[in-house]
Amino acid sequence: MTMSWNRRDFLKNTSAATLAAMAAGIPLTNLLSSCNTKSNNATADTVILLWMAGGMAHTDTFDPKKYTPFTKGMQANSVLSTFKSVPTILDGINFSEGLESIGKVMDKGTLIRSYVAADMGHILHSRHQYHWHTCYKPPQSVLAPHIGSWIAKELGPLNPVIPAFIDIGQRFTLGEAEELKAFHTAGFLGNEFGPFLIPDPSGGLESVQPPVGMSSSRFEKRNKLYYDLISKSPMGEYGSDYQKESLKRSMEQAYILLKSPEAKAFDLSQEPKEIYDIYNTGKFGLGCLMARRLTEQGARFISVTTEYEPFKGWDTHDNGYTRLIEMKKQIDGPVAQLIKDLEKSGRLDRTLVILASEFSRDMMVEGRPDAKVQEQVDQPDIIQDIKNYGMHRHFTDGCSMLMFGGGIKKGGVYGKTADERPCKTIENPIVIDQVHQSIYHALGIAPDTNYLVEKRPFYTTPDGLGKPVMDLFS
């Protein structure tokens, strides 16, 4: 039976896991596991995750169905897509109107139309995002590492000055902040493998520079004071020696970056205006530009998010149609330009780019047809107002993803969803442990990589059973 967890349960258990991870000793490599090193068969060196936070509707983006334009008095159940279909560069494959630029670069990647999100009872965005990014359903007795942290730990930095794991675009000063923090962590692997956070790429240079007007001596004093404060924090008092040393190394790495020439990668003003303007659709677009610049400087894993903020962005509980017009403007040009720039520089072949979301949306079904959950949106059967015209309920049974570069098949299409409601996966379902192991496979990370934590092996995917989807690769 699927347990139903509410927000308070989620926070209570993840907080307990955080303290457990701090107190734990060094995770020991399991001597029975495969060697935790990069394989000679790796097809990628770097990963860029483009995260569509909030639930991107597949039928209104990369898997359009029959289009029904808005009219007052229309039947809600008759609406499968609220945008027209437009052709892509691939014969017979259409995208939703507003994504024409991405459609023109699909000969360089693979479209996945059959991702199936997990059943976890009452749907909470932060729990599904936790599951997608860690491969573990919350709550866990051990704080599970983010996929970027696993990659940073196993492969290390390509450039010792540039943080191996960089997260761009997510603030933690808004709704569900603590839940979001729960998976933006390296967990038991240690702080040095956690994300270097850049909430706003337009001010990225400020993240790697002392404040204006601060002298070197004053900065040194502040740095020492910060070390003193950390020593008196819960980590300093209760953390294991391993966790304390890991935190110290993460602070030292950040300090080195402050004084390095590579810090200029965070300065978007150095970009030619004609390129900058293509990316400048907002925080996400500029985040794509920064990801490209950081890839050039040797970043290992970069996440760029449209940012999760309840009832904004892709979190369309109402006004789905009008909201998606704006969201498509934010992502279409920058994503396509990122792929073109990486290809032009010769880096796309060794850079795996993934575009994904925690689940999809539908106008009528909450959850999936055979596992419906409590409805969170009051969707009228007869639509009189355009605010009700759109995909407003959470749908987990058919989601779209894109993958480019890093050994991924060019011009590929994987999986299929039904053309009639419920537009669920009907061919080649893919779940999160397969997604993670496909990424690890591209990077050459052994599928049974694990560490002993609390005297039991903790794998990159639950029980080490995840398998890569080889049909995604060329």
Structural Rg of the chain based on CA atoms:
22
- Average pLDDT on 342-368 reads 97
Q: What digits encode the pLDDT tens for the residues 267-301? A: 999 999 999 999 999 999 999 999 999 999 999 99
Please state whether the predicted TM-score (pTM) of the whole model is above 0.75.
yes
Specify the DSSP element, H or E, that contains 85: strand 85-87
- Reference 396, options 77, 17, 47, 117; nearest CA is 117
Q: What are the C-alpha distances in Å from 63 to residues 93, 132, 180, 473? A: 9, 20, 28, 21
Q: What digits encode the pLDDT tens for the residues 115-139? A: 999 999 888 899 999 999 999 999 8
Tell me, letter by letter, the H, E, C secondary structure of 230-257.
HHCCHHHHHCCHHHHHHHHHHHHHHHHH
Percent of the chain past pLDDT 90, that is, above it, reads 69
- Average pLDDT on 414-440 reads 98
Specify the DSSP element, H or E, that contains 217: helix 216-231
Specify the pLDDT at position 215.
57
Q: What digits encode the pLDDT tens for the residues 198-217? A: 999 988 666 656 556 655 56
Checking if the pLDDT of 7 tops 70, the result is no
Question: 217-230 burial by CB neighbour count: b if 16+ within 10 A, else e?
Answer: eeeeeeeeeeeeee
Range list of β-strands (E), 318-376: 351-356, 360-362
The label of the residue with tokens 């639930």 reads: 55
Checking if the pLDDT of 318 tops 90, the result is yes
Select the more confidently predicted residue: 53 or 13. 53
Q: What digits encode the pLDDT tens for the residues 223-275? A: 566 556 656 666 556 556 656 565 555 555 655 666 677 778 889 999 999 99
**Eight-state DSSP code of residue 210:** P
Other beta carbons within 10 Å of 306? 26
- Alpha-carbon distance of 111 to 414, in angstroms, equals 6
How far from the centroid of its chain's Cα atoms is residue 183's Cα? 11
The label of the residue with tokens 């759109």 reads: 390
Checking if the pLDDT of 453 tops 60, the result is yes
Tokens, residue 50: 């483009």
**Eight-state DSSP code of residue 72:** T
Specify the pLDDT at position 36.
52
Least-confidence region, from 293-302, 410-419, 449-458:
449-458
Query: What does pLDDT average to over the chain?
Result: 87
Q: Checking DSSP bridges between strand 360-362 and strand 85-87, what pairing results, if any?
A: unpaired
Question: Are the C-beta atoms of 122 and 4 separated by less than 8 Å?
Answer: yes
Specify the pLDDT at position 226.
56
Specify the pLDDT at position 363.
96
- Average pLDDT on 8-25 reads 47
Range list of β-strands (E), 265-368: 301-305, 351-356, 360-362
Specify the pLDDT at position 191.
84
